[in-house]
């Protein structure tokens, strides 16, 4: 059994706990153990860097220190905002001995930045696409997905550095292992508005409408994401998008782990797909492998 450190962050223990259910169900089926960091804290996300630079390093730095303390060489952070903050801090720590001492003193635990931080797509790559393909019980032949990376998964490119920032293909390769198809479209790395869903809802509704419209125009019957903020805007806000723009999209939005889990034979309830706002039967009767 493979073992990875696991940092859920605030979203996966709160508003996006369906994402956590999906990730955990997939990893259990693939015999991957997730060791949640003991006594983790918020990484600072969007606010800390605008308030205090040292704080923006100390918050993720403490989580990295816990991962090192507990012997994790790899740390899964499924939220792209969290993974970016952790990677930025890791990089800063590895480049400066003075900073390592300062942050270690602040968080009261040694932290060197030695732990590797990975996102949802990368953990499936670490598990191995051949291994995943061999475990498929229900090939997703009815799926034609628009893989939506959003603006955080591949950016900033020098920080994240795991896929092409403008033309990423890593989600598509995972879907191919599941027997699913993916479409070529124009909005794979465009922003959905992220956290502006509360402060500037109109902007989010406009951006989200463009994303869904383009995906449908290129033949997609679902969207696939690996970010809780993207899922909120594309799934939960879809009804508001339809009302504001006088359209009817009915476009289901899956986490990448949802589709992996469905292909592995897990149910919608086990993956918490049944709690999504937009439901459709595009995967209802996949072919079962004997």
Give pLDDT, residue 281: 54
Sign of CA dihedral 252, 255, 259, 262: negative
CA–CA distance, 244 with 238 (Å, rounded to integer)? 10
Chain-wide mean pLDDT for the chain?
94
CA distance 192 to 45: 17
Burial state string for 26-45 with b = 16 or more CB within 10 A and e = fewer than 16:
bbebbebebeebeebbebbb
Q: What pLDDT sits at residue 284?
A: 39
Q: Helix, strand, coil % (nearest 5) of the chain?
A: 50, 10, 40
pLDDT at 242: 97
Joined tokens for residue 290: 């004997």
Sequential pLDDT tens for the chain (290 residues):
799 999 999 999 999 999 999 999 999 999 999 999 999 999 998 777 778 999 999 999 999 999 999 999 999 999 999 999 999 999 999 999 999 999 999 999 999 999 999 999 999 999 999 999 999 999 999 999 999 999 989 999 989 988 999 999 999 999 999 999 999 999 999 999 987 877 889 999 999 999 999 999 999 999 999 999 999 999 999 999 999 999 999 999 999 999 999 999 999 999 999 999 998 654 433 344 44
The alpha carbon dihedral of 40, 45, 51, 54 has a sign of positive
pLDDT at 280: 65
pTM of the model: 0.94
Which domains, from first to last, does the chain contain? 2-118 (1.20.1050.140), 135-275 (3.40.50.11810)
| Closest C-alpha to 65, from 32, 102, 34 | 102
Distance CA(62)–CA(53), nearest Å, equals 15
**Predicted local confidence at residue 47, as pLDDT:** 74
Radius of gyration (C-alpha) of the chain in whole angstroms: 19
Which pLDDT belongs to residue 268? 97
Residue written as token pair 């991962």: 67
Q: How high is the pLDDT of residue 29?
A: 98
Nearest CA among 275, 271, 251 for reference residue 146: 251
DSSP 179: T
Residue 65's region, left for phi above 0, alpha for psi from -120 to 50, else beta, is: alpha
Predicted pLDDT of residue 18: 98
The strand pair at 116-118 and 74-76 is best described as: parallel
Question: pLDDT tens-digit profile of 33-61?
Answer: 999 999 999 999 877 777 899 999 999 99
pLDDT at 45: 84
Half-sphere exposure of 1 (CA within 13 A, CB side): 10
Q: Residue 75, SS3?
A: strand
pLDDT attached to residue 282 = 41
């Amino acid at each position: 059994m493979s073992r990875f450190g696991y940092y859920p962050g605030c979203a996966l223990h709160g508003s996006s706990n369906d994402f956590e259910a999906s990730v955990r169900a997939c990893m259990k089926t693939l015999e991957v153990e997730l060791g949640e960091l003991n006594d983790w804290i918020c990484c600072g996300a969007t606010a800390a860097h605008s308030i205090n630079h040292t704080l923006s390093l100390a918050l993720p730095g403490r989580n990295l220190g816990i991962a090192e303390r507990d012997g994790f060489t790899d740390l899964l952070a499924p939220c792209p905002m969290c993974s970016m903050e952790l990677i930025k801090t890791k990089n800063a720590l590895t480049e400066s001995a003075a900073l390592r001492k300062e942050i270690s003193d602040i968080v009261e635990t040694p932290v060197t930045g030695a732990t590797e931080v990975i996102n949802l797509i990368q953990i499936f790559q670490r598990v191995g696409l051949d291994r995943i393909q061999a475990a498929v019980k229900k090939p997703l032949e009815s799926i034609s997905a628009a893989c939506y990376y959003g603006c955080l998964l591949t950016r900033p490119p020098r920080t994240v550095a795991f896929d092409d920032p403008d033309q990423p293909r890593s989600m598509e390769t995972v879907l191919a292992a599941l027997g699913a198809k993916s479409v070529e479209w124009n909005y794979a790395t465009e922003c959905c508005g992220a956290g502006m869903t509360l402060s500037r809802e109109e902007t989010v509704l406009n951006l989200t409408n463009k994303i869904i419209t383009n995906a449908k125009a290129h033949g997609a019957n679902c969207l696939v994401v690996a970010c809780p903020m993207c899922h909120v805007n594309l799934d939960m806000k879809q009804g508001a998008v339809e009302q504001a723009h006088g359209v009817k999209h009915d476009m289901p939005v899956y986490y990448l782990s949802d589709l992996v889990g469905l292909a592995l034979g897990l149910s919608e309830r086990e993956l918490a797909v049944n709690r999504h706002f937009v439901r459709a039967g595009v995967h209802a009767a996949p072919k079962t492998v004997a």
